[in-house]
Chains A and B, each alone.
Chain A
Amino acid sequence: MILGCAMTTKSFGEPILRKEDPRLVSGQGRYLDDLGHDALAAAFLRSPHASARILDIDVADALDVPGLIGIYTYEDLEGRVAEPLPLLIPHPALLNGRTGYPLANEYVRHVGEAIVMVIAEDRYVAEDVVDLIKVSYEILKPVVGIENAKAAHNAVHSSVPNNVSAHSVKEVGDARAMIKSAPHKLSLDLFIERSACSPLEGKGVYAIWEEDSQELRLWSSTQTSTGVRAAVAAKLDLPLQKVECIAPDVGGGFGVKIMHPWPEEVLIPWAARKLNRPVKWSEDRREHFISSAHERAQEHHIEVGFDEEGRILGLDVTFFHDNGAYTPYGIIIPLITSTQLLGPYKPASYRVEFTSLFTNTVLVIPYRGAGRPQGVFAMERTVDAIAKYLKLDRTVVRERNFIQPHEMPYDLGLIFQDGRPLEYDSGDFPASMAMLKKMVGWDDFETMRGEYAAQGRKIGIGVACYVEGTGVGPYEGGFVQVETSGRINVATGLTSQGQGHQTVFAQIVADELGVPIDDVFVTTGDTRRFPYAVGTFASRAAVMSGNAIALAARQVRDKALRLAGEALECDPQDLEIVDGIIRVKGDHAKSIALKTVAVLSNPLRYAFDESAKAATQFAVGDTSKPPVPEDQEPGLEGKDYYSPMASTFANGMHAVIIEILPETAEVKILRYVVVHDCGRVINPMIVEGQIHGGVAQGVAGALFERMAYDESGQLQNASFMDFLMPYATEIPTVEAGHLETPSPLNPLGIKGAGEAGVIPGSAVFASAIEDAEGFEIRRMPISPSELWELRRTMKENA
């Protein structure tokens, strides 16, 4: 019988408040620009033209500025720094991958490309110098937009005259034949415009070169400190051992900060070593708009063949992807679009062909969702079109095409972005849909519509479903260590940008080890603390690092119980750990503190503090064996890795009820409902926060945000005044329902949740607007004036 025990509160699954908060809410965060106050500052002269040849760079007027340290152009770059930046993700379909140089080498290919780097005593001076440098250009004709890239009257890269960087065709079955023989056919043309991650904190790099030890320490506002470290070491020709990279507090990433190395991530450390002085750079908002990255622009043509029930017999998708001026991140986005487009459905046959095109615009790399929003938009518009054609309920057509729970695991016959088969491991789509319909009142909507119509108000309801491959490999690692003070140190190599990793990973360890969560301290993104990692992206951190940390914690637990068993002279099986005390189940007096075991694990002989002294009470160890047995190490710590066989698939469904104002065609959101399945949940409060944030970006992408390039390749809305990021008044309250189909693929049964909220954004709004207005919505985002114009055109043509 267990008497009156105070059990450690279970952490996993609880909405534990965040350990990060007290520091951050009191202004004690340390973001990149908060560091290195005495460092030299860098500023960049960036191309004002979308396509040009640099003729001359005249710095004469800039030489006198007090506080100037140096001015650098491509000619100053040495060794590997003068070579093109790496192409991170090669792929057989990427026929003509191209990357840029850290500073432009004769040609500039997008507005914002860096040409000159200035180093000065402070940022104001550096920018003064930039303003005084005169560059003369031969302006070339730029390629802007998918249509112009296709037409190829001009080339972004002279070695790629047709502007095609990649081309790929994948087939499962013979879709074209199935469509030809199908009872019904439809064709659709769809378009999504570019948007951008736009984290509130831009990029930044701070580097310190230690001349005495020839070591480099750099901080970057990055999603992958191990990636940056490796790339910088390679470029600067330094042994990996001599380079450390730390991601400090990061003010949001959403994908843009997974790209590495940015030119600045190479140039700032290079300058620090050259000048033997710390150097720091933080970009400003305009720089972020014109020299970071965008995503989302795709043009789809769809042919679909279906039967009278609405079941899809053949789906033939041809799409064009705008990849910007360079392809350092390969073709991950169109690959994800082409595979995740299928969502929760099982068309009898499928063909997808994509062409990725260069344009004289900024890079395209993943933005939360990473190609899925485009794919979901394509699929969901198609399913809605089928429903409209057959005069069937939109959810019914979806249900008829769902992969059923008993069919799991379901192999879709394609290769996913991790190089492994696209196979859904779990999910109950019918149950998700049933929950969604109930929550939003789907079946009663017509009544609601009638009530509003009686008041002269026009409303509509939309629905959209998606499946998301999460927890993509190759691996992550976890390190757990018990100090003799009782403090538990946890480290993992991937990074944090607000996901609450310091809390959720502490929850896992608190549960696995039986210690108070207040004693657990987590470090992420520091190559000094954990040097093997991939990074934070693709909704993978909880799945990858969460599992690795759990495995590492179990190692610690096993060792602790073994050592405690020796000290207490009992079987480890009879022991439990509660609140940091290891005790015999049923005989709590027989106990030893975990921290004391930590002392015992490192047989140093020296009692350097009270807990170390406590260890001397226990005579442990078999004198016929060495103090540290052959297969053991000193210390109470564990390190393990989690490397998945395949991604684990989360899913979700969204519904939105909107009202469209008659005079202005403004869209008002009346209700936004989410049903979400990410397997077992570590911290429901944090998962909901992720959903809220994702939905906000989905709303933004559907109704407000786009990158407005003109025909000269000038970005016309490179500021928050013109790039319409929504405020609180534009974002609805999200009602979220959860389903839990645990992942069978990892020990904790969890799936990723980071991107979920944004994925069906454009699809669900298009669905709702079309439902309200009655005509087809095929292009997103849609502004009130565009909707108004569309209305007028439809009326005229009617």
Chain B
Amino acid sequence: MNPEELFLVELTVNGTPLSARVPSRRILSDFLRHDLRLTGTHVGCEHGVCGACTILLEGKPVRGCLIFAVSVTGSAVTTVEGLVNNDGSLGIVQRAFHESHGLQCGFCTPGFITTIHAFLKENPHPTEEEAREAIAGNLCRCTGYQNIIKSVMRAAELIDSGVRDDH
């Protein structure tokens, strides 16, 4: 049996061009985590249901566990690490989670943060119902979602009050 053929995958991740040679079947979440050592994106189910692996592909939230890395070569990807400000301070959604106790174990959190970041770009003034619907594709086992919804509303509040981040 021959070793697997490797393909060069080049992505812009969080603004930085990064690349690695991987087999065609390497999934994007594994590529980010193990080939690029960006372990902020987590894997909870590998069948696209839990949302922990959600990253932004050209700004849109997608499940990293359902995509092959080779299929997105040349694209721009944003992970939770990339939502931190350039000066190291927390981005708006991250700060809102902290202030609203929106996380406990933190495993599902990166997937929520990327999802909500993209959501608020589209709808910066959501109602609580809209916020609930927006996060209804991500599983959390610890928080019961109540404080995650609070985090969405808090982030919207921060944006409304003029707070800006680098993303």
Contact = CB atoms under 8 A, between A and B. Distances in A.
A199 B47 CA distance: 16
Contacts of A498: 103-106, 142
Interface residues of A, number: 60
Given A252-B107, A693-B104, A728 B3 contact: no
Mostly, the A contact residues are: loop
A33 B106 contact: no
Interface stretch (A20-28, A50-58, A84-92): A20-28
Given A25-B94, A26-B84, A734 B146 contact: yes
B148 interface: yes
B139 A720 contact: yes
Most A C-beta atoms less than 10 A away, residue of B97, B99, B139: B139
A721 B139 CA distance: 12
A774 interface: no
Given A25-B98, A498-B142, A731-B145, A251 B39 contact: no
Nearest to A368: B141
Interface stretch (B66-74, B108-116, B118-126, B159-167): B108-116
A200 B143 contact: no
Contacts of B43: 33
Given A27-B79, A27-B81, A733 B146 contact: yes
B53 to A, nearest CB: 11
A15 B140 CA distance: 22
A254 B107 CA distance: 14
B50 A200 contact: yes
A499 interface: yes
Given A18-B98, A27-B81, A200 B44 contact: yes
Interface in B133-156: 133, 135-149
Contact of B110 (A27, A728, A733): A27
A87 B37 CA distance: 39
Contacts of B135: 727-728
Most A C-beta atoms less than 10 A away, residue of B2, B52, B105: B105
Mostly, the B contact residues are: loop
B77 interface: no
Contact of A21 (B34, B98, B137, B149): B98
Interface stretch (A64-72, A143-151, A232-240, A429-437): A64-72
The 8 closest A-B pairs by CB, nearest first: A27-B40, A251-B107, A498-B105, A498-B104, A692-B144, A24-B106, A696-B144, A720-B49
Interface of A: 15, 17-18, 20-22, 24-31, 33-34, 37, 64-67, 124, 197-201, 249-252, 254, 284-285, 497-500, 685-686, 688-689, 691-697, 719-721, 725, 727-729, 731, 733-734, 757
A368 to B, nearest CB: 10
A221 B44 CA distance: 14
B60 interface: no
Given A37-B37, A285-B44, A251 B133 contact: no
Nearest to B52: A200
Contacts of B44: 200-201, 251, 285
